[in-house]
Amino acid sequence: MAPSSEPSYPSGLVWFRRDLRANDHAALHRALTQCQQVHCVFVFDREILDALPQADRRVEFIHASLVELDETLRALSGQEQGGLIVLHAVSSDAIPALADTLGVQAVFANHDDEPRALERDSLVRTRLAAAGKAMHTFKDHTILERSEVLTQTGNPYSVFTPYKNAWLKKVDVFQLTSYPVERHTRRLACRPQEHCLPVPTLASMGFEATALAQLKLPTGASGAQQLFDDFLGRIERYDDTRNFPAVKGPSYLSVHLRFGTISPRLLARTAHTLMLKGNPGASTWLSELIWRDFYFQILHHHPHVVTQSFKPAYDAIQWESGAEADALFAAWCEGRTGYPLVDAAMAQINQTGYMHNRLRMVVASFLVKDLGIDWRWGETYFATHLNDFDLAANNGGWQWASSSGCDAQPYFRIFNPVSQSEKFDPEGKFIRRYLPQLAGLPTKALHAPWLARPLELQEAGVRLGNNYPLPVVDHDVARKRTLERYAVVKAATAG
């Protein structure tokens, strides 16, 4: 991967998007090896930001990560005027305009397969071409993408296990090797005087600071590495600990994968190596990374999943609607369902922007199969509140929970929120953390307070219907209604 003796372009522009790091970066490496001089830019895209609330943890995470990236690029360039050009504008206008101002011959970026991003990139590519400039994009956000893993008949997989097996056969040293950016950084260009500015402040873009710092979520590439180093010390136990929200089991790297502050190649290479050495936790964690690739290739081949069910028959389901459905949805959003594990999970996402993966399945199943609410309502809520929101994974997870997606759980599999609570938060530590009003209850009564004895409730200061709600629905009754609701699917698939 050494640079050619005669680069293809005198100068190029690297457009950072969901890849906020300077190491092991496909587009940056390609630009450095193909251009004599390389400029770097990030655009706070107004087409995205203008629709967000004034306080958004994700914008603050990006901002902090960009400050670090700017410092890193400046250090790598060896020039005080080096670093990152950061704009607050509409990307499809700003990138062609900047390319013209800088006099570059090509723009380099990494793939983004979300539909809106593809439309944006197509427009930018067209505008650049009209000015005689090229746009090159590369795989970076996943290990294997798009049509790299296909069935023997040349079709995309729709079931995970055979996809995983094919992925494991396909992956090789090249796919897992890092791009050696550092050896070529002498080609990083100085910024023009008018762009030698610090990263715009949140306030200057109309945003307020959030409680991100209080959440102790480390930002930037250094923060991602810190979390990864910590996870490696306990990865062997991941298979045993990952399902218990009160236990430090996950890697907590999802937001860093979302914004590319850590290389997926580093993570997959490490997990793959440990798996081959017989590490059970690494094997399970690698499967989670492969699930991520799987959902991205589903989005690429089946973009209709953004608004419709992967399985068309599921769009015939009649979901609850009207004032009662609105009230039930509000209770779910605000953690007022009367089911402690569900309510604690919703308190977690509302307070922190994070939700444990096991709980994502529990609350999604509850919304769809206990309350009869359209999965798209929940998907949208998660999209608004999750720090690590990623369209492919979020859509895939919600369609899995509603049984409408590829390789989803059967429609008749309906999580019991009480048994899930007893199994995965057996001591009630997670519930007590997020629902302090229930903390005084005996553990046995904590999972279903409405079944507690009056004296237990009194001694714990719990007043059902007052400081903690009664259940908004009876799970057994709801289960029967769900089976009836999904009968239309059974009939369609039988036919």
Per-residue model confidence as pLDDT tens digits over 68-77: 999 999 999 9
Q: pTM value?
A: 0.95
Q: Is the pLDDT of residue 291 over 90?
A: yes
Asked if 104 and 133 touch (Cβ cutoff 8 Å), the reply is yes
| Per annotation, catalytic residue among 114, 288, 320, 422 | 288
Residues 218-230 have pLDDT tens digits of: 999 999 999 999 9
332 is catalytic: no
Predicted local confidence at residue 3, as pLDDT: 42
What tokens appear for 331 in the block? 């209770």
The reply to whether 467 belongs to the active site is no
pLDDT at 490: 77
Contact, 201 vs 86, CB < 8 A? Answer: no
Catalytic choice (15, 285, 332, 375):
375
DSSP, res 375: H
Among 291, 332, 377, 400, which one carries the catalytic annotation? Answer: 291
| Least confident interval from 191-200, 268-277, 321-330, 407-416 | 407-416
- Specify whether 15 is catalytic: no
The mean pLDDT of 378-392, rounded to a whole number, is 98
Spatial strand order of the sheet with 106-110 comes to: 85-89, 35-45, 9-16, 106-110, 134-138
The Cα–Cα gap between 69 and 115 comes to 27
Which position among 71, 114, 319, 320 bears the catalytic label?
319
Given this model, what pLDDT does residue 414 score?
A: 93
pLDDT tier, 494 (very low <50, low <70, confident <90, very high otherwise): low
Question: Rounded mean pLDDT of 277-306?
Answer: 98
Structural domains in the chain, CATH included, are 1-140 (3.40.50.620), 142-177+221-301 (1.25.40.80), 312-494 (1.10.579.10)
**Whole-angstrom Cα distance, residue 258 to residue 20?**
10
Q: Is 400 part of the annotated catalytic residue set?
A: no
Give 163-187 pLDDT, tens digit per residue.
999 999 999 999 999 999 999 999 9
Mind giving me the DSSP string for 386-441? -TT--HHHHHHHHHHHTT-STTPPPTT----HHHHHHHHSTT-HHHHHH-GGGTTS
What is the pLDDT, as a whole number, of residue 408? Answer: 75
Using pLDDT thresholds of 50, 70 and 90, give the confidence band for residue 211.
Answer: confident
Among 16, 19, 17, which Cα is nearest to 264's? 19
Residue 495 has pLDDT above 90, yes or no: no
pLDDT, one tens digit per residue, over 117-161 is 999 999 999 999 999 999 999 999 999 999 999 999 999 999 999
Q: How far apart are CA 347 and CA 255, in angstroms?
A: 19
User: 148, 357, 416, 456: which one is catalytic?
Assistant: 357
